[in-house]
Amino acid sequence: MLVLGIESSCDETAAAVVDDQRRILGEVVLSQLEEHRPFGGIVPEVAARSHLQHMDRLVAEAMKRAGIGFAQLDAVAATGGPGLIGGVIVGVMTGKALALASGKPFLAINHLEGHALTARLTHGIDFPYLLLLASGGHCQLLAVDGVGRYSRLGTTIDDAAGEAFDKVAKMAGLGYPGGPAVEQAAALGDPKRFSLPRPMKGKPGCDFSFSGLKNATRLLIESLPKPLSGQDAADVCAAFQLAVAESIADRTRRAIREFRRTRPDGRHLVVAGGVAANTALRQTLITLGAETGLEFLAPPLKLCTDNAAMIAWAGVERLRLGLVDDLTFAPRPRWPLDPSAKKVGFAGV
Ligand code: ATP
Ligand code: MG
Ligand code: FE
């Protein structure tokens, strides 16, 4: 079974061909980083135009690398949301057009489902497992019970973790994207020189919050002499990174307790999303997994961040169950994975 996947919900344009033996046969990702960098963040209009400009070429390239023609595909899958709507429309329209022209089924994939099922592509693990999804737009803990069966145990009530990294980097004058810059600076800093809050620590439930920490970091930076010295910036970044890692660990520990109680046969803690690149966070999660008896798994970084292999794989999983969509599917800027979960703050979709 061969599925073409298309991703365009944020700032990566991507296409990939994946088979049901968990092989990625052809894969391309084009990052728009350089186009957005002058603006210090993603500009939706710029993103949509760039997806439109490059999508055809990337699909052709992924097919070429896979060494197949459209007639050999079993389906075409595209991210149907959630995300920046202009980009999602480009991917969905491309996917529908290719499906229609080649007479193949079309699958609209929830981008978060792509992230959620990646560990089954990379490690072949069984359901159920616990997923921490921490990216620029999302911060959630999900129990993954099956294809289309997700229970959200926690989400952010304000900012996503990656967003907080990006904003702190901006405040500290470290540029965009923030996560890698903050991590690099933190490596030279003393995490104990400044003390920052551990948001939500000890609170009931498994929700996250990062806006209080972001504000505390802003006040700390404002209190320091300008221009910020390299050492001050490094110490602020180290303190901030430790606060994020400890806050995420506290929330995840609670989620693990809940997960183990309700799903005693679950064995894995999995991460996805760009923030999973953070070494300090990974280290904390490895320790946490060891303490709680869950094995910690992290897909290779390029499959943690936005990519089309995860969309193609989610397509394989859905196609195997006969869960295809039709060409009337409308792109969805918001699309919660667990519709029964209570509504929370802005990023808590
Ligand atoms: P979405 O939520 O729709 O997936 P996204 O494109 O913003 O959106 P990703 O591409 O998965 O998400 O991840 C990007 C985010 O990850 C950015 O916010 C970036 O700062 C953060 N990030 C990347 N590397 C690191 C790192 N080493 N440490 C911390 N954060 C990081
Ligand atoms: Mg991205
Ligand atoms: Fe993503």
Q: What is the pLDDT of residue 339?
A: 86
- Residues around ion ligand 3, judged by CB within 5 A, are 135, 306
Mean pLDDT of all residues in 151-157:
97
Q: What's the CA-to-centroid distance between 333 and ligand 3, angstroms?
A: 13
Q: How far is CA 340 from the centre of its chain?
A: 21
Mean pLDDT of all residues in 93-122:
98
183 CB near ligand 1 (under 6 Å): yes
Q: What is the pLDDT of residue 88?
A: 98
Q: What is the pLDDT of residue 90?
A: 98
- What is 228-264 written as a DSSP string? PPHHHHHHHHHHHHHHHHHHHHHHHHHHHHHHHHH-T
What are the binding residues? 111, 115, 133-137, 166, 179, 183, 278, 306
Q: How far apart are the first and last CA of the chain?
A: 32
Residue 95 has pLDDT above 60, yes or no: yes
- Taking each helix axis from N to C terminus, what angle separates 178-186 and 161-171, rounded to the nearest 10 degrees? 70
Residue 345 has pLDDT above 60, yes or no: no
87 CB near ligand 1 (under 6 Å): no
In this structure, which residue's CA is closest to atom 1 in ligand 1? 137
Q: What's the CA-to-centroid distance between 87 and ligand 1, angstroms?
A: 18
pLDDT in tens, 260-319: 999 999 999 999 999 999 999 999 999 999 999 999 999 999 999 999 999 999 999 999
Q: Which ligand lies nearest the alpha carbon of 305?
A: 1
179 CB near ligand 1 (under 6 Å): yes
Q: What is the pLDDT of residue 175?
A: 86
Rg (Cα) of the chain, in Å, rounded? 20
For 21, the 3-state DSSP assignment is coil
d(CA 232, CA 291): 34
User: Do 82 and 335 meet the contact criterion of CB atoms below 8 Å apart?
Assistant: yes
pLDDT band (50, 70, 90) for residue 234: very high
Residue 344 has pLDDT above 70, yes or no: no
Q: What's the CA-to-centroid distance between 137 and ligand 3, angstroms?
A: 7
Averaged confidence pLDDT in the chain: 95
27 CB near ligand 1 (under 6 Å): no
Q: What is the pLDDT of residue 348?
A: 40
Mean pLDDT of all residues in 168-192:
95
Residue 226 has a CB neighbour count (10 Å cut-off) of 9
Q: What is the pLDDT of residue 346?
A: 46
Q: Which ligand lies nearest the alpha carbon of 111?
A: 3
Q: How far is CA 40 from the centre of its chain?
A: 20
Residue 347 has pLDDT above 50, yes or no: no
Q: What is the pLDDT of residue 343?
A: 67
178 CB near ligand 1 (under 6 Å): yes
Mean pLDDT of all residues in 93-113:
98
Could you tell me if the ipTM is greater than 0.90?
yes
Q: What percent of the chain has pLDDT over 90?
A: 93
305 CB near ligand 1 (under 6 Å): yes
Q: Which ligand lies nearest the alpha carbon of 138?
A: 1
Domains and CATH numbers, the chain: 2-118+302-321 (3.30.420.40), 128-301 (3.30.420.40)
- Residues around ion ligand 2, judged by CB within 5 A, are 10-11, 306
Which residue shows structure tokens 């186009």?
Answer: 35
- HSE at residue 301, side-chain half, CA atoms within 13 A, is 8
What are the binding residues for substrate? 133-137, 166, 179, 183, 278
Residue 32 has pLDDT above 70, yes or no: yes
